[in-house]
Structure 1
Amino acid sequence: MKISGWTALLGAAVLGADAIQLDLGSDDSIKQAASTIAHNMMTYYVGNQSGQVPGLLPPPYYWWEAGAMFGSLLDYWYYTGDTTYNDVTEQALLFQVGPDRNYEPTNRTSDLGNDDQAFWGIAAMSAAELKFQNPPEDQPQWLALAQAVFNRQAGRWDEQTCGGGLRWQIFSFNRGYNYKNSISNGCFINLGARLGAYTGNSTYFEWVDKVWDWMTEEGLVSPSFQVFDGTDVTINCTQLDHVQWSYNGGVMLLGAATMWNQTTGDEQSKWGDRVTGLLKENMVFFQNGTTMYEVACEPNNNCNVDQLSFKAYLSRWMAATTKVAPWTADQILPLLASSAQAAAQSCSGGNDGSTCGTKWTQTGWDGAYGVGQQMSALEVIQSNMIQKVSGPVSNKTGGTSKGDYSAGSGSSSHVDNAPGEITMKDKAGAGVLTAVVLIMLLGGGYWMSVD
């Protein structure tokens, strides 16, 4: 998605450069490339300017993508050691917690779905795992924020329809409330597995098992480990939208890999099979087995604003998988390397000569630009530092973030979990809108054909 003001982008690269120069054999080269891309990405952010709201990106970006972006900046610090964006990241992650300290700000009801909230909670989880600077004592702490999001979402587990699952939307008046999608439930799995690993509390693992089993029973995760977009409660989840998005494959992969890391015996073998299956099916997101692309929309040039960022999360979670399931590195690292080289050569546009495009599968810049393009290139390039950094910590291995098992478990007056009439609103959100999906499901066709 093109937005106004792009001509003002001034990256750290020399004007007129053919592309970001990347030598994966040089840590300094990777860090310099990441620095240039992160700088360009942050030219879109105005939340730290006078009169602006910390933590928000300007239109057309929704609230959730800002949380995802600050998650990428946490990764940037983790991989490079550069603290340039640490204070603005902390400010954003704390400003958006909402009155109940659970990432449910009252002014975001129009774009506050379970997946939207989860991306902020996952950023807080990363802050705890990576030992990011802890907030002041009078502010909510990273681990407690992640726990608050998990607890809130556990309370929304909906067995009244389709036998379980999280709905896409939190509020019944938001379009998409009848949709149960993989990214909402997958984020819940991802967050639960990581909370269990950090705290040692097996209750989180029990939830992961429960959600995974439900997704499998409903067909959202196929027997061969394809992860499909979602299903609709108005037809009792009897049909699926079979579109595959890269972030769905990624979010499930890290969840499964974390569970493999935390189990033994037959349980570990089960989760290992799931990791292997997901890795195999995620190859659909690599053209010719080498270059990451969003298979459902890139070929036809119809990715929406959200979808342009999805490769960032597949990159992030594939890299993180190699830390908790090291045996996956031989398969994952070459994919991150080849995709990083492809991404770098696409970062050759704009007045600065280093603006990143959407399509890494073609030579040079494709004329596209935006937060999603910058974030995707940043994550895949900096992920090539994964072997040079330590893995996630826990309470037993040096973690310092303070938790609260009851965080978020209290009632919140502005959250509506009751079914009601859905009203139209201008939100694309993650995945496809329920009204369109229902037509497709009833017609037995797919929005996009995926091999």
Structure 2
Amino acid sequence: MVGAVAGCLVLMLGAAPVSAAHGGEARSRAAAAVTAMMGWYDTDSGRWDRDAPWWQSGNALQSLLDYVAATGDRRYLSVAAHTIDVQRAPLPWWPEGGGDFRADSTDDTGWWALALVRMYDLTGDQRYLDIAAEDEDYMGRYWDPVCGGGLWWDIPTQTYKNAISTELYIELAAALHNRIPGDRAHLARAMRAWRWFAASGMIGPGSLVNDGLTSGCANNGGTTWTYNQGVVLGGLAELYRATGDRTLLAQARRIADAVVSGPELTHDGVLTEPCEPAGSCNADQAAFKGVFARNLATLDRVLPGRPYRGFLAVQADRAYADDRDSTGRYGVRWCGPYDGASIGSQESAVALLTATL
């Protein structure tokens, strides 16, 4: 029996509980979701759904490569290489970047660069790490003293400093440091960015991250999207690996706990994007929860006792039971009902299911 609460289907008393998948079952669920995701892949353009926002192909690439890393299933590694080879060309809408994923918004560059770091991890091919470092340098050019620091999100107009661009920069710079022997420069930039971010006011009093800053450099009260909570967790986990500073983990846990235990983003135990109750999530927002799941898993792996593993398993079980069609496609609302899929919702599901492996 089911009932609707705050727009989310809730298992009622007497209903059969959903049991957590383990081992081979969890892997088969992830594999089926990846197979379905590949149905959106367009070989000619090297993108997943060429009509979807460009950054989502970078995020889909990350989801695919995380799956490869978790399972050893390398069937699609050649697709990943093809995607990078095609998409590294100068962008038709922003040729000024010169290619190699240097886009007109710093966050778009960050998504692709993090995927390249994962590609380096899987292949050992130095050129992928070199491009990621080139991208970090490009993003860093748009750090300036306005508001005391931070990256501009919109390169052509430079009117908005937001959370996601600086969060991606922190994670990318720290990840590069952790992979480049003897590096100091990337770590210094990552730490500078984190210190600025922590003092910027974007982390609200309830430990949730708002979208960005006003022109007067104050928290703009923008939506606390799930991906803004997630990427900072990945960045703090990378910084912890670099420094051993456990205060970074304490801050990460405050943010993570505000999501998984607070009422704003978790309804009846299921992660819920703020746009879901109204059914108004757009193409970008459909991908956000998977970004959170990926980064929560990254944090969880460096914490004693794996405190968030159970939460991730619940999300995966609910999505599998209630938000999936017979072909393995997933929708936006993990608590259901399934009402169609997009590449954004599918790459999000792949990230979630991979996070439980």
* Aligned mates of 2:96, 2:86 — CA distance in 1: 9
C-alpha contact (below 8 Å) 2:90/2:98 kept by paired residues: yes
Q: Structure 1: any 5+ residue segments left out of the alignment?
A: 1-20, 386-451
Report the secondary structure of 1:58's partner residue: coil
For 1:221, which of 190, 196, 203 is the aligned residue?
203
Q: Does 1:40 align with 2:33?
A: no
Offset from partner CA, 1:420-449 (integer Å, 9 cap, x none): xxxxxxxxxxxxxxxxxxxxxxxxxxxxxx
**2:7 matched to which residue of 1?**
none
C-alpha contact (below 8 Å) 2:101/2:135 kept by paired residues: no
Pairing 1:352-431 to 2, within 5 Å after superposition: 352-362=326-336, 365-385=337-357
Change (3 A) 1:259 1:148: same
- In terms of Rg, which structure is larger? 1
**1:206 matched to which residue of 2?**
188
Report the secondary structure of 1:326's partner residue: coil
**1:3 matched to which residue of 2?**
none
* Aligned mates of 1:99, 1:359 — CA distance in 2: 35
Q: Does 1:156 align with 2:142?
A: yes
For 1:191, which of 152, 172, 195 is the aligned residue?
172
Offset from partner CA, 1:95-131 (integer Å, 9 cap, x none): 222359x99466999x731000110000011222xx3
Provide the aligned C-alpha RMSD in A.
2.6
Offset from partner CA, 1:54-100 (integer Å, 9 cap, x none): 236321x1111001001111011112222221101111123222359
**1:121 matched to which residue of 2?**
113
**1:248 matched to which residue of 2?**
228
For 2:156, which of 171, 182, 188 is the aligned residue?
171
For 2:62, which of 52, 71, 74 is the aligned residue?
71
Q: Compute the TM-score of the two structures, normalised by the length of structure 2.
A: 0.85
For 1:287, which of 267, 272, 285 is the aligned residue?
267
**2:252 matched to which residue of 1?**
275
* Aligned mates of 1:309, 1:328 — CA distance in 2: 28
How far apart are residue 230 of structure 1 and its match? 0.7
C-alpha contact (below 8 Å) 2:48/2:60 kept by paired residues: no
C-alpha contact (below 8 Å) 2:64/2:350 kept by paired residues: no
**2:9 matched to which residue of 1?**
none
Aligned residues: 333
**1:334 matched to which residue of 2?**
310
Change (3 A) 1:239 1:317: closer
* Aligned mates of 2:188, 2:96 — CA distance in 1: 24
Q: Which has the bigger relative contact order, CA under 8 A and spacing at least 6? A: 1
* Aligned mates of 1:141, 1:108 — CA distance in 2: 14
Q: Compute the TM-score of the two structures, normalised by the length of structure 1.
A: 0.68
Q: Structure 2: any 5+ residue segments left out of the alignment?
A: 1-17
Change (3 A) 1:279 1:347: closer
C-alpha contact (below 8 Å) 1:97/1:104 kept by paired residues: no
C-alpha contact (below 8 Å) 1:291/1:360 kept by paired residues: yes
* Aligned mates of 2:98, 2:317 — CA distance in 1: 39
Report the secondary structure of 2:63's partner residue: helix
Change (3 A) 1:105 1:369: farther
Change (3 A) 1:353 1:252: same
Which amino acid counterpart does residue 329 of structure 2 have in structure 1? T
How far apart are residue 134 of structure 1 and its match? 4.7
Which amino acid counterpart does residue 158 of structure 1 have in structure 2? D
Aligned-pair identity (%): 25
